Structure 1
Amino acid sequence: MLRIGYVRLRDATAHEDTATLKAAGCQVVRAEEPGRDGETLSSILDFIGAGDQLVVTRLDRLALNGRGLLDALDRLDARGASLHVLAPELSSDGAAGSALRAVLEAVADLEPAGVRRRRPTAATHEIFALQRAGVGPVEIARRLGVSRMTVWRKLKALENAEA
């Protein structure tokens, strides 16, 4: 089981969070630079493996709202991975995970509806499938409703991972 730490570099405590995650046994710690709009987290969620664990120091370090937290949990579940929060001690595994999801769904229902991302996020597997089918990057972007830069970044990440 690989433990992957995630931290947003948005305030002075971020560097302390990095040290805390390493001390908690995270073999890998990834930091989100300010203004990156969740690209690092999205990359982690695209490539995390079954049985692996995403670790954050606090729940608010994972996403900015309840809907974002639920989306991250859904993506982790789809990959067979789990979430572990250090303070307070929370996990998405087992019965505690069901309770955590119920609370987050209640919180997300209370949030105002109009707060959404500017653009849809294309799943990496969709981009790769279209590329394998012989579709060019510009056409992939058009079909999925994302920017060409998003397609290029995800293809570049695959190229780097294979190298």
Structure 2
Amino acid sequence: MLRIGYVRLRDSCSADDTAALKAIGCHVVRAEEPAGYMADGSAMLTSILDFIGEGDQLVVTRLEHLAHCTRSLLQVIDRLECKGATLFVVEPEICSAGEGGRALRAALQAVASLEPLSAPRRRGAPSTDEILALQEAGIGPVEIARRLGVSRMTVWRKLRTQAA
């Protein structure tokens, strides 16, 4: 069984993560800049998932090092399972194999079902009426901007012109 460690180089903890992965017996430790997660085209992680074989294990220090959202994390676990490989997380100690793996998958699927799908970007600015309707419903400017796919400044400008 080959144990492959994966680290995202994002802060000073990265050196500690690399050392921890080597200390627990990873044969190979690969690191990459945080520019990409699985869904964003993470080259190193994709390479590992292409290379990993049956009986091998992908090891990370923390679960959030693999993906930016739960759906992407489930995609990583699916790819590992298709290859006959497993995921091992150091902290807290979790493995995708066996009963614990089934429980992990169930928990992740439950969380993924609650996560909002990313809203498509709108073309052009929303109407003042749309913004006012959301504000009257008790929604704040930051949430209005997120829901309408525009900047907060756009919302603030529309609200300011309406107040004047």
Distance (Å, rounded) in 2 between the aligned partners of 1:25 and 1:115: 42
The change in CA–CA distance for 1:115 and 1:43 in structure 2 (over 3 A counts) is farther
**Deviation of 1:115 (Å):** 6.3
Shift of 1:100: 0.3
Which is greater in Rg?
Answer: 2
Aligned pair partner of 2:104 in 83, 95, 100 = 100
1:57 aligns with 2:61: yes
SS at match of 2:10: coil
Q: What stretches of structure 1 of length at least 5 have no aligned partner?
A: 117-163
Correspondences of 1:1-163 after superposition (within 5 Å):
1-36=1-36, 37-114=41-118
Q: TM-score, normalised by structure 1?
A: 0.68
Give the letter aligned to residue 70 of structure 2: G
Task: Return the alpha-carbon distance in structure 2 between the equivalents of residues 30 and 115 of structure 1.
Answer: 33
SS, match of residue 87 in structure 2 = strand
For the residues of structure 2 that align with 1:84 and 1:34, how far apart are their CA atoms? Answer: 20
Q: Deviations over 1:55-113 (max 9, x none)?
A: 00010111111011100000000000000000101000001100000011111111111
How many residues are aligned here?
Answer: 116
**Over 3 Å off, 4+ runs:** none
Cα RMSD, aligned residues only: 1.4
What is the distance in 2 between the residues matched to 1:107 and 1:51? 28
In the TM superposition, residue 35 of structure 1 has moved relative to its aligned partner by 2.1
Shift of 1:34: 3.1
Paired with 1:49 and 1:19, the residues of 2 have a C-alpha distance of 24
Counterpart-to-counterpart distance in 1, 2:34 and 2:76: 19
Stretches of structure 2 that go unaligned for 5 or more consecutive residues are: 121-164
